[in-house]
Amino acid sequence: MRLLREVTQALADAVGADRTGVRLSPNGETQGVRDSDPLPVFIAAAEALSSIGIAHLELREPPLDGTFGVGYLPPLAPLIRPAFKGPVLLNSDFSAARAQADLDAGIGDAVTFGRPFIANPDLPRRIAEGLPLAADDRATWFTQGADGYLDYPPAGASARLRSA
């Protein structure tokens, strides 16, 4: 906890707390780390970050049936949320319906979409109009070129664009 507090405070002092956000992964194995009792640790972390006054806290929690990482507990965000006084962002395997339900329940203030946004350059339009989402191509994640980042067409276009 000390490292998190000190590093975040140093960053906030250097660039401003209003320009500092932290992402925590309270539920699910991350790079071989799995906490046996994560709730008290992450509530304390949220309280510490709240006292620094950072711009936002993002909670990445894959669901129990996650497609890229799997949670091992029911979501902890509803229990962590009260400990952080700023905006809380939620992330990991959200559908539009699940995102809206969690926003309506006050669990978060916003939901971030990673892979769906890469594969759907017009994601807000697709969600608003109930259009189907394109699947992402895992083989192109973290590449050094445009493939997988700039070659997905908007809804209604016939095929994926490929860089030359």
Last residue of a domain, one of 96, 112, 128: 112
In terms of domains, do 9 and 22 share one? yes
In terms of domains, do 8 and 20 share one? yes
Q: What pLDDT was estimated at residue 139?
A: 84
85-115 per-position pLDDT tens digit:
999 999 999 999 999 999 999 999 999 998 8
pLDDT band at 164; cut points 50, 70, 90: very low
pLDDT band at 160; cut points 50, 70, 90: low
65-86 per-position pLDDT tens digit:
988 888 889 999 999 999 999 9
114-152 per-position pLDDT tens digit:
889 888 989 999 999 999 998 888 888 777 777 776 777
| pTM summary value | 0.86
In terms of domains, do 96 and 107 share one? yes
Note whether 151 and 164 are within 8 A (CB). Answer: no
In terms of domains, do 84 and 104 share one? yes
What CATH number should be reported for the domain holding residue 31? Answer: 3.20.20.70
Residues in a beta bridge with 60: 91
Tally the domains of the chain: 2
In terms of domains, do 62 and 18 share one? yes
Note whether 136 and 115 are within 8 A (CB). Answer: yes
In terms of domains, do 134 and 148 share one? yes
In terms of domains, do 68 and 129 share one? no
Q: What pLDDT was estimated at residue 159?
A: 55
7-60 per-position pLDDT tens digit:
999 999 999 999 999 999 998 777 788 888 999 999 999 999 999 999 999 999
Q: What pLDDT was estimated at residue 163?
A: 46
Token reading at 63? 């669901």
Note whether 45 and 5 are within 8 A (CB). Answer: no
Domain that holds residue 126: 114-164
